[in-house]
Amino acid sequence: MTSTNPKRDRADGDVLLDVRDLSVIYESAGAAPVQAVDDVSFTLKRGEFVGLVGESGSGKSTLGFALTRLQKPPARTNGGNIFFDGSDIRELDTETLRTQRQGGFAMVLQSGMNALNPVRTIRNHFMDIFRAHGHVAKADREARAAELVRKVELDPSVLARYPGELSGGMRQRVSIALALSLEPQLMVFDEPTTALDVLVQHAVMDTIQSLQASENFTAILISHDLGIVLEATQRVLVMHEGRIVEDGASRDILERPQDDYTRMLLSHYADPRAEVVELPGFPARRSGAEPGTTRPRAEAGDAAVVTRSVRSADSAIVVDGVSKVYPPPRRGEKPVRALDDVSFTLEPGQSLALVGASGSGKSTLAKLITGIEKPTQGDVRFGDVDVTRLRAKGLRDLRSNVQMVFQDPYSALNPLHTVEYTLSRPIRNMTDLRGDDARARLHDLLTTVGLTPTETFAQKLPHQLSGGQRQRVVIARALASDPQVLIADEPVSMLDVSLRAGVLALLEDLREKWGVSLLYITHDLLSARLVTDDIMVLHDGKVVERGVTSEVLRNPQDEYTVRLLDAVPNPRRLREDVA
């Protein structure tokens, strides 16, 4: 709270947005009201590019919606003022508000993918805006739309397309162009790149930054990712539990963070290229740590969970010359070669990272290993079992040995079932444990994933758990059958930064104590560095680089690996023009 000055002269031409003591409350029926934004004050000067950072539930998006008066019930502003260019946005009547949106304040939504009407062409989206405000003469509208689309680095031919025909990145660019067509003084970007692929994220952020400079609008960038924000903005507001806990220049925040919460957020960033990578609650992993060797495995009974028996066979997963070709997505197009001659071996107890941007084929590989899909060419073996030939019964056996942890903990759990029920199913279906033994197993599993007291957590429903806790339940479920291999598909990408380290540490711990081998699928090189010994970089279905994780990341050979590394948000790589 540094920049609050309620006596600031409103006529000061320099100030575009002056928020005073703003509060937003959620009043859902049948639930206690939640003060999502609590007495927030700050000012924004013309031409500033300000970041608004916080984790989920911090109130940052609620604040963004309140600023542009887009909040919908049950959210309601219950105090304070928002002076935009001298007049209070909260006081405007609906029609004035609507017309103010042209040449006033615009918003780009989090999921730009869904921000476009699926049954209208891109051209019609532009025309709707021009018609609503009449700020572009009829004869110039077509040319103006083409010009706007070019500004976000798209070809004007997209105007004739429907949203469904564009990629996620293109759609987000279109939303930015639409927001720009309002010629706004203030742009609010609400997590504009979160739903996008890493490399695309980077490119879209670049576009936003260069537009901000060339179009000279004032901008607020809302994000959960302090790294992205520090890279792009000049000033940062850090939000925590509805309040702004820190407000300062990006460089100051980075070098002299004042608030504990900011310090905590910052501590979760590290450069995957560094010699020693350390995160809070996470053991340091030296770059020279016995490359390639598997760790000593604990005997059964050592860990919190007593395994069924000493593993009968320590089987490696062998992927041998595998290709997967999907039929063409549309008639007249080429078949899609998702994987092209990929070979590797996952030894027992090994942890291997499989990295690449979306579309690189990494998830396809996971499907082949779990037997969900069959390769077009090549072999997948688990020990002496040929996975590609398995039928129903064999697949069931395979799955008690090879388990998946999914990306989205919010949709991987049935919202109607308690944790106890969710975990009891695999115990019942994949082990011989019954009755008290099964119950004991369930509580052991919860202890292993750190959900204690287990009695309390067993009775909870998914919505009563945080994202990190849900992901722990998903991991516990995967462990229920005492698997030999865990395939984790982006297990932390949906989690808040502060929760990631905990889940990663759990995966690492399981491997050390329990000897589970881990195939860690991700686009996030920092987390790959933390939990894996070896790495394989996939690009367009081909392995472009492989080796010991720390060595590959510190000294990448392939250009694609370098691009992935550059895309990792790094607060230390500040925007150049910051004073």
From the list 106-114, 308-316, 370-378, 387-395, the region that binds other proteins by CB under 8 A is: 106-114
Beta bridge partners of 377: 323
User: Should residue 107 be labelled a site residue for other proteins when binding is judged by CB under 8 A?
Assistant: yes
User: Should residue 102 be labelled a site residue for other proteins when binding is judged by CB under 8 A?
Assistant: yes
According to CB under 8 A, which residues from 435 to 464 bind other proteins?
none
| C-beta closer to other proteins: residue 114 or 293 | 114
Angstrom distance (rounded) from CA 382 to CA 399: 11
Six-digit token pair at 498?
A: 């502060």
User: Should residue 119 be labelled a site residue for other proteins when binding is judged by CB under 8 A?
Assistant: yes
Q: Among 41, 61, 62, 68, which residue interacts with other proteins (rule: CB under 8 A)? A: 68
User: Should residue 99 be labelled a site residue for other proteins when binding is judged by CB under 8 A?
Assistant: yes
Please report where in the chains the tokens 């598997």 appear, as a residue: 294
| C-beta closer to other proteins: residue 111 or 294 | 111
List the helix and strand counts (H, then E) for the chain.
Answer: 19, 22
| C-beta closer to other proteins: residue 101 or 511 | 101
User: Should residue 6 be labelled a site residue for other proteins when binding is judged by CB under 8 A?
Assistant: no
Q: Are 369 and 319 in contact (CB under 8 A)?
A: yes
User: Should residue 157 be labelled a site residue for other proteins when binding is judged by CB under 8 A?
Assistant: no
According to CB under 8 A, which residues from 231 to 290 bind other proteins?
none
Describe the strand order of the beta sheet including 15-26 as a list of residue ranges: 34-45, 15-26, 75-84, 87-88
Angstrom distance (rounded) from CA 476 to CA 22: 42
Q: Among 7, 330, 334, 391, which residue interacts with other proteins (rule: CB under 8 A)? A: 330
User: Should residue 117 be labelled a site residue for other proteins when binding is judged by CB under 8 A?
Assistant: yes
- Provide the 8-state DSSP code for 83: E
Which amino acid is residue 8, in one-letter code? R
Angstrom distance (rounded) from CA 444 to CA 527: 27
User: Should residue 70 be labelled a site residue for other proteins when binding is judged by CB under 8 A?
Assistant: yes
Distances in Å between the Cα of 575 and the Cα atoms of 263, 427, 499 are 20, 52, 27
Q: Among 128, 255, 386, 559, which residue interacts with other proteins (rule: CB under 8 A)? A: 128
User: Should residue 129 be labelled a site residue for other proteins when binding is judged by CB under 8 A?
Assistant: yes
Please, how many CA atoms are within 13 Å of residue 281, restricted to the half-sphere of its CB? Answer: 14
| CB of 413 vs other proteins, minimal distance in Å | 23
Instruction: Kindly write down the DSSP assignment for every residue of 171-238, as one continuous string.
Output: HHHHHHHHHHTT--SEEEEESTTTTS-HHHHHHHHHHHHHHHHHH--EEEEEES-HHHHHHH-SEEEE
Q: Are 537 and 558 in contact (CB under 8 A)?
A: yes
Distances in Å between the Cα of 101 and the Cα atoms of 67, 71, 182, 251, 441 are 12, 15, 7, 33, 58
Burial of 93 from C-beta contacts in 10 A (0-12 / 13-18 / 19+): exposed
| C-beta closer to other proteins: residue 195 or 446 | 195
| CB of 528 vs other proteins, minimal distance in Å | 32
User: Should residue 132 be labelled a site residue for other proteins when binding is judged by CB under 8 A?
Assistant: yes
Which amino acid is residue 573, in one-letter code? R
| CB of 294 vs other proteins, minimal distance in Å | 47
Angstrom distance (rounded) from CA 313 to CA 333: 45
Angstrom distance (rounded) from CA 429 to CA 74: 43
Q: Among 23, 41, 175, 471, which residue interacts with other proteins (rule: CB under 8 A)? A: 175
Peptide bond into 409 cis (omega under 30): no
Six-digit token pair at 453?
A: 């007291």
From the list 158-166, 299-307, 512-520, 566-574, the region that binds other proteins by CB under 8 A is: 158-166
From the list 8-16, 98-106, 360-368, 418-426, the region that binds other proteins by CB under 8 A is: 98-106
Please report where in the chains the tokens 């092209």 appear, as a residue: 340
User: Should residue 219 be labelled a site residue for other proteins when binding is judged by CB under 8 A?
Assistant: no
User: Should residue 138 be labelled a site residue for other proteins when binding is judged by CB under 8 A?
Assistant: no
Site map 370..389 versus other proteins, x via CB under 8 A: --------------------
Helix (H, G, I), strand (E, B) or coil at 277: strand
User: Should residue 100 be labelled a site residue for other proteins when binding is judged by CB under 8 A?
Assistant: yes
Q: Are 403 and 484 in contact (CB under 8 A)?
A: no
| C-beta closer to other proteins: residue 100 or 307 | 100
Instruction: Kindly write down the DSSP assignment for every residue of 532-547, as one continuous string.
Output: -SEEEEEETTEEEEEE
| CB of 114 vs other proteins, minimal distance in Å | 4
Site map 77..96 versus other proteins, x via CB under 8 A: -----------------x--
From the list 152-160, 171-179, 220-228, 565-573, the region that binds other proteins by CB under 8 A is: 171-179
Q: Among 15, 178, 277, 519, which residue interacts with other proteins (rule: CB under 8 A)? A: 178
| CB of 164 vs other proteins, minimal distance in Å | 5
| C-beta closer to other proteins: residue 134 or 283 | 134
Peptide bond into 453 cis (omega under 30): yes
User: Should residue 145 be labelled a site residue for other proteins when binding is judged by CB under 8 A?
Assistant: no
User: Should residue 351 be labelled a site residue for other proteins when binding is judged by CB under 8 A?
Assistant: no
| CB of 8 vs other proteins, minimal distance in Å | 27
Q: Among 4, 111, 431, 493, which residue interacts with other proteins (rule: CB under 8 A)? A: 111
State the number of binding residues for other proteins (CB under 8 A).
34
Q: Among 182, 186, 222, 270, which residue interacts with other proteins (rule: CB under 8 A)? A: 182
From the list 31-39, 115-123, 457-465, 521-529, the region that binds other proteins by CB under 8 A is: 115-123
- Where on the chain is the footprint of other proteins (CB under 8 A)? 68, 70, 72, 94, 98-102, 106-107, 109-111, 114-120, 128-129, 131-133, 162, 164-165, 175, 178-179, 182, 330
